[in-house]
Amino acid sequence: MNLEDMKIIVTGGASGLGRCFTQELAKAGASVMAADVDAEKLAELEEVTEGNVETFVADVSNEAQVIAMVEATVAAFGEVNGLVNNAGIFRDALLVKKDRETGALRKMTLGEWQKVIDVDLTGPFLCTREVAAKMIEADTPGVIVSISSVSRHGNPGQSNYSAAKAGLVADTKLWAEELARYGIRTGAVAPGFTRTPILDGMPPRAREKIEKSVPLGRMGEPFEIWQAVRFIIECDYFTGRCVDVDGGVKV
């Protein structure tokens, strides 16, 4: 697909990777609906981004808000033919941890598990379902890109996040099979350690440890993840697969 023909939603579009995707898409001529829970950051994004960018405040784990977001996109652009499932959160905790001094057990709570699943897996399900329905209804071909993670292979302290990101890759494959008949392609991108506000806030020693674990010796940049997203959008023979952009980190 040509980027200038895209009428596309980017969830989690106000900061980090989502902000990069939104700005690069708009720069390339796409019409972009940036959705996020942070209204202030969305307003700031709209002010500084060149191109056709609209914004919508939505929690992707809320079905009614997702439906409203998609309806607003169609109202603004006339149609929707693209989606980047980028919104995601962390609630890291070990499954069970024993305090070395007191012997007390600390367990990952159901709330910590469920909130990540709701945003990182149920959110993409809801967004993909609603966008795909609009495409099929309008007989419009399109593409859906979901942001997974190298953590989908399993990362200590991330039972919830790893499960969500692994599930997202599995869904990408099966959605490709279900939606191909309608001219809808899917793809996933699995970033490794990428320089975003979350990692920028880490202590220097922790960042150095991460960088040493990457064969290329550094973190990725948001634009490098965008290059994979762009490839999936533009390559009409790509569907149902996950592109790893992780600097060669061992999994």
Tens of pLDDT along 56-106?
A: 999 999 999 999 999 999 999 999 999 999 999 989 899 999 998 899 999
In a domain, 250, yes or no: no
> How would you classify the pairing of strands 52-57 and 31-36?
parallel
Cα(128)–Cα(105) distance, integer angstroms: 39
In a domain, 12, yes or no: yes
- Examine residue 86 and state whether it is found in any structural domain, yes or no: yes
| Sheet with 31-36: strands ordered across | 52-57, 31-36, 7-11, 82-85, 142-147, 184-191, 241-245
Q: What is the pLDDT of residue 201?
A: 66
- If you compute the radius of gyration of the chain from its CA atoms, what whole number of angstroms results? 18
Q: For residue 64, what pLDDT is reported?
A: 98
Dihedral angle over CA of 67, 69, 70, 71, nearest 10: 80
The answer to the question of residue 125 being in a domain is yes
**How many whole angstroms separate alpha carbon 140 and alpha carbon 169?**
24
Residue 249: inside a domain: no
Active-site residue flag, 161: yes
158-176 pLDDT per residue, tens: 999 999 999 999 999 999 9
What CATH number does residue 112 fall under? 3.40.50.720
Mean pLDDT of all residues in the chain? 95
Q: What tens digit of pLDDT does each residue of 12-64 get?
A: 999 999 999 999 999 999 999 999 999 999 999 999 999 999 999 999 999 99
The band of 122, judged by pLDDT with boundaries at 50, 70 and 90, is: very high
pLDDT in tens, 182-229: 999 999 999 999 988 777 666 787 778 888 889 999 999 999 999 999
Report the C-alpha dihedral over residues 210, 215, 217, 218, rounded to 10 degrees. -60
Establish if 104 belongs to a structural domain: yes
Catalytic residue of the set 56, 77, 161, 193: 161
Structural domain containing residue 100: 3-243
Instruction: Look at residue 248 and tell me if it is in a domain.
Output: no
Pick the residue with more confidence: 202 or 120?
A: 120
Residue 190 maps to a domain: yes
Tell me how many domains the chain contains: 1
